[in-house]
Amino acid sequence: MKKTAGFALTGSHCTFKKALAALEKLAESYDIFPIVSPAALTDTRFFKSEELVARLEGISGRKPISSIRDAEPIGPGKLLDILIICPCTGNTLAKLAHGITDTAVTMAFKAHLRNDRPVLLGISTNDGLGASAQNIGRLLNTKNVFFVPFCQDDPENKRFSLVSDLSLLTEAADCALRKTQLQPVIRSK
């Protein structure tokens, strides 16, 4: 039987295309439960909410979990073997690092961690080496939290930006399931 993976998207809309491609590959070996933050469901020039929901349903066969209420049973029901948050914004990183639970995604994190099971973060934030750096540091040092290896995607023009390499998502998930961090965490572009 396939392992179950929560796949939670937060509001890095420019990353959705790559994240969905990585999710399609992941779905070959994991049973997927999609989860979305309210910001992820906002229409932008990159993605319309309807299109995102349709793609997630198409890949997983499930409606995305989009409320705190619907994410809460992940804990008591031990629904997921692994929770993947991808893309993970600077905003969500800050909340995860400080125990703030006010979206379906942060609720899923809290509910899932209580089961002593792994979480994998695929980060995408323009302030990864700025305001988010302390939160990334804190989460690197948090039990059961792992990262999809990341790099500075555009050091010339976006000096503080960090982005996970989503071609490594499935490999990083397989490692995280074994409670191991895929190495090296920091990659070159």
Ligand X SMILES: Cc1cc2nc3c(=O)[nH]c(=O)nc-3n(C[C@H](O)[C@H](O)[C@H](O)COP(=O)(O)O)c2cc1C
Binding site for ligand X (CB under 6 A): 10-15, 37, 39-40, 44, 46, 89-92, 103, 124-125
The neighbouring-strand residues paired with 3 are 30
- Closest contact distance (angstroms) between CB of 15 and ligand X is 6
Alpha-carbon span 40 to 144, nearest angstrom: 25
- Closest contact distance (angstroms) between CB of 189 and ligand X is 17
Q: E-strand spans in the chain?
A: 3-9, 30-36, 82-88, 119-125, 145-147, 150-151, 162-164
- Closest contact distance (angstroms) between CB of 108 and ligand X is 12
Q: Which is nearer to ligand X, 39 or 177 (CB)?
A: 39
Q: Which is nearer to ligand X, 157 or 183 (CB)?
A: 157
Residue nearest to ligand X as judged by C-beta position = 11
Phi, psi of 10 (to 5 degrees): -115, 180
Alpha-carbon span 85 to 145, nearest angstrom: 11
- Closest contact distance (angstroms) between CB of 82 and ligand X is 20
Q: Which is nearer to ligand X, 66 or 170 (CB)?
A: 66
